[in-house]
Amino acid sequence: MPKYIVERDIPNAGGLTAEQLQGIAQTSCGVSCKMNANVHWLESFVTPDKVYCILIADNEDALREHAEKGGFPITNIAEIKSIIDPSTAEG
């Protein structure tokens, strides 16, 4: 399945409490379990006003369905084609 990064504009995301983040995570996992399409959340990065989520999914439509059912905004979806890190420089 393809891997995606989903950008979400969430004002003051960096100010969310641990309890609020836990609630969001519980909602995301609950929605994924009830969907017919495959959406697997790997991790998210919370910044001051955005959240970047790394997910594996059947397709972009499945990501949009997950977001709609969970009440999560989507600003942008991009399919991840490659992953590089410092070890890539070693050849």
Which structural domain range is residue 42 located in? 3-86
pLDDT confidence band for 37 (50 / 70 / 90) = confident
Cα-based torsion angle of the residue sequence 42, 1, 29, 66 in order, rounded to the nearest 10 degrees: 120
The SS3 call for residue 31 is: helix
Could you read off the pLDDT of 59-76 as tens digits, one per residue?
Answer: 999 999 999 999 999 999
- 20-26: which pairs have CB atoms within 8 A and are 24 or more residues apart? 21/46, 24/72
* Residue 91 is assigned to a structural domain of this protein: no
Specify the CATH number for the domain of residue 56. 3.30.70.3090
Out of 11-20, 35-44, 49-58, least confident range: 35-44
pTM for the model stands at 0.92
**Residue 72, in any domain of the structure:** yes
